Amino acid sequence: VSGHRLLISCRDEIGLVHRITGVLLRGGFNIVGNDEFVDQGAKHFFMRTAFAGPSSTDGLVEALREVLPPEASVWLAPSTARTIVLLATKEAHCLGDLLLRHEEGELAARVAAVVSNHDTLRTLVTRFGIPFHHVPHEGLDRAAHEAAVLDVLAGYAPDLLVLAKYMRVLSAEFVARYPARIINIHHSFLPAFVGARPYHQAFSRGVKIIGATAHIVTDDLDEGPILAQGVLPVTHAHTAADMAQAGRDVEKIVLARGLSLMLDDRVFVKGRRTVVFE
């Protein structure tokens, strides 16, 4: 999409839409799509506006701030493609799917590199001409391993990190370096089956539907705000391994969906919840 995108969130008050659209109108911009939501319980206002017009948006954020409450969050999407780094461990399905989408130009972002704590996926990644960094965790404590990963990341200055089945828990310190900029795929329909081996838990419980959840990573494991979820029917005939196999298709589709929502600037995070304008 050509054009600009604006995300505004603040406490609700009368006249916000009129004031915001007034600023856009005076700037010569035409609104192409507008989504607004007021959380009536929290009295909070969320608005995503896609607009066209002059290519320069210089001064726009400042002009908007003049008509908004002081604490308002105003985000004008950058006009250049964002840089993302993918983190993975040994499983190829999510990673490969994203690399294919990237190669086909489907992702509105540049995949700069892949970082993994194992060397297993090197061949796959290098097939696509993307730098692969093996940062082994053996013999290192979590802090030391994360320092090594952060070191590699620093060289790419990523806008977003995507955990494509990265099977290490990130520390609060790590997450704080990329606040609301790390997305993860959890292989269950959260909050069912938090923690380890969700497909084994699902098998043991005898569920008839399994799922996957893409979420923003916070320092509270498996509790980050949810971006997207998907499900798949299963039967008694699925072993835990069969569920894991079948679940891969949901995982990769849901992760790509969550990433796409982020890259299209469709997501607000508010506490443990998201507002997603689809």
Per CB under 8 A, residues contacting its own copies are 14-18, 21-22, 24-25, 30-41, 92-93, 96-97, 100, 103-104, 106, 124, 127-128, 189-193, 204-209, 211, 225-231, 233, 235-237, 239, 245, 248-249, 253, 256, 272-276, 278
CB of 20 to its own copies, least distance (A): 9
Which conformational region is residue 71 in: left (phi greater than 0), alpha (psi within -120 to 50 degrees), or beta?
Answer: alpha
Identify the DSSP state of 78: P
Q: Which is nearer to its own copies, 18 or 157 (CB)?
A: 18
Q: Which is nearer to its own copies, 123 or 155 (CB)?
A: 123
CB of 72 to its own copies, least distance (A): 16
Task: Look at strands 182-186 and 209-216 and give their pairing.
Answer: antiparallel
Q: Which is nearer to its own copies, 181 or 264 (CB)?
A: 264
Cα distance between residue 180 and residue 273, in whole Å: 12
Nearest residue to 211 (alpha-carbon basis) of 223, 222, 199: 199
Cβ atoms of 234 and 44 within 8 Å: the answer is: no
CB of 172 to its own copies, least distance (A): 20
Nearest residue to 268 (alpha-carbon basis) of 229, 227, 212: 227
In 3-state terms, the chain is what percent helix, strand and coil (to 5)? 30, 30, 40
Catalytic residue among 222, 242, 249, 264: 222
Q: Both tokens of residue 84?
A: 């993302």
Q: Which is nearer to its own copies, 58 or 104 (CB)?
A: 104
CB of 256 to its own copies, least distance (A): 7
Cα distance between residue 57 and residue 5, in whole Å: 11
Q: Which is nearer to its own copies, 2 or 80 (CB)?
A: 2
Q: Both tokens of residue 170?
A: 């990130």
The residue type of 194 is V
Q: Which is nearer to its own copies, 45 or 149 (CB)?
A: 45
- Is residue 219 part of the annotated active site? The answer reads no
Cα distance between residue 190 and residue 60, in whole Å: 39
Q: Is 124 helix (H, G, I), strand (E, B) or coil?
A: helix
Cα distance between residue 249 and residue 177, in whole Å: 31
Cα distance between residue 233 and residue 117, in whole Å: 32
CB of 245 to its own copies, least distance (A): 7
CB of 236 to its own copies, least distance (A): 4
Active-site residues, by number, are 222
